[in-house]
């Protein structure tokens, strides 16, 4: 029983919260934040305190207290996923990166039609991540599939594919010159794109006997984009310079051994499949 005094400031606001136990139902009396607990022997859990609210203000919210192991206790809402850390560039040349302004990125937009460029003669010293960055410097990369010293890069539009051919073909990386080219089907798509660009630049379609210059389809905007791509590729090569220097012949021998083992396993598999096919054939009883 709580005595009521004449002074309202001496009132201790309380809340009665039902509790359950085996065969019993009782009430636990709690005080508002800023007051000691009303039930002797039960300390207030840490972190439950809130700033004291003066009389006449809005009553503070009381957290619901439920006994541990209560059969009807519901789990709280799931926690939100931690935000992903932002991408950080390769740190082998971190000091040089801080002293050198980074070239602008080429907008990554898939406008179509997509074109696939063959990229060959890739040195074993070149990490695949570096090659990916170099390819992306030319334009939007839809997919990249590398098989040892060559690979196939699918670009999001003809402009990016042509830029990759212009910049990457015969570019020397790690003592080897890259090869960048397309097949006949893709070449027809690129030729059609070039014709449209020439028409926009000249304001008319080229005459039948008018010779075509190899780069007369390149406008000023494309030239600026090419220059930005070349600057970015030089920065990427500088970032990975130490990685390529750290490449050793032992790593090369290990890769060569792994390739030989893979080839041998493939031959064994083919021989096994051939023997199974022969065993499943008709049996000659003669």
Q: pLDDT digit string (tens) for 218-268?
A: 999 999 999 999 999 999 999 999 999 888 755 666 666 776 777 778 788
Q: Residue 283: inside a domain, yes or no?
A: no
Q: Residue 120: inside a domain, yes or no?
A: yes
Burial class (CB in 10 A: 0-12, 13-18, 19+), 233: buried
Structural domain span for residue 214:
95-245
Say how far apart CA 35 and CA 9 lie, in whole Å. Answer: 13
Say how far apart CA 198 and CA 186 lie, in whole Å. Answer: 19
Q: CATH no. for residue 184?
A: 3.30.70.330
Q: pLDDT digit string (tens) for 155-182?
A: 999 999 999 999 999 999 999 999 999 9
Which residues contact residue 19 at a Cβ distance below 8 angstroms, ignoring those fewer than 6 apart?
25, 26, 27, 28, 65, 67
Helix (H) or strand (E) holding 95: helix 94-99
Q: Residue 136: inside a domain, yes or no?
A: yes
Say how far apart CA 5 and CA 1 lie, in whole Å. Answer: 13
Q: Residue 30: inside a domain, yes or no?
A: no
Average pLDDT score over residue span 48-66? 50
Q: Residue 60: inside a domain, yes or no?
A: no
Q: Residue 107: inside a domain, yes or no?
A: yes
Average pLDDT in the chain: 73
Say how far apart CA 149 and CA 91 lie, in whole Å. Answer: 25
Q: List the alpha helices (DSSP H) in the chain.
A: 94-99, 128-138, 158-168, 184-202, 220-239, 241-245, 249-279
Q: Residue 113: inside a domain, yes or no?
A: yes
Q: How many CB atoms lie within 10 A of CB 179?
A: 16
Q: Residue 85: inside a domain, yes or no?
A: no
The total of structural domains in the chain comes to 1
């Amino acid at each position: 029983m709580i005595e009521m005094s004449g002074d309202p400031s001496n009132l201790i606001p309380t809340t009665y919260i039902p509790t359950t136990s085996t065969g019993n139902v009782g009430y636990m009396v709690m005080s508002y934040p800023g007051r000691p607990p009303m039930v002797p022997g039960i300390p207030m859990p840490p972190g439950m305190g809130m700033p004291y609210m003066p009389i006449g203000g809005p009553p503070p919210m009381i957290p619901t207290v439920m006994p541990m192991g209560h059969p009807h206790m519901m789990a709280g809402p799931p926690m939100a996923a931690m935000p992903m850390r932002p991408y950080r560039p390769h740190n082998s040349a971190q000091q040089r990166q801080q002293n050198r302004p980074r070239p602008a990125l080429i907008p990554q937009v898939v406008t179509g039609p997509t074109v696939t460029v063959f990229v060959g003669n890739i040195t074993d010293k070149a990490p695949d991540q570096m090659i990916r960055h170099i390819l992306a410097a030319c334009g939007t990369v839809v997919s990249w599939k590398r098989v040892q010293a060559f690979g196939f890069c699918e670009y999001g539009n003809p402009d990016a594919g042509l830029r990759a051919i212009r910049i990457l073909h015969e570019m020397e990386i790690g003592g080897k010159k890259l090869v960048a080219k397309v097949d006949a089907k893709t070449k027809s798509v690129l030729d059609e794109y070039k014709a449209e660009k020439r028409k926009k630049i000249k304001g008319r379609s080229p005459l039948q006997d008018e010779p075509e210059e190899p780069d007369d389809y390149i406008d000023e905007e494309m030239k600026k984009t090419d220059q930005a791509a070349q600057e970015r590729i030089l920065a990427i090569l500088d970032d990975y310079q130490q990685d390529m220097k750290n490449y050793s012949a032992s790593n090369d021998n290990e890769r060569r051994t792994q390739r030989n083992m893979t080839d041998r396993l493939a031959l064994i598999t083919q021989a096994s499949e051939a023997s199974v096919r022969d065993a499943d054939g008709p049996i000659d009883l003669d």
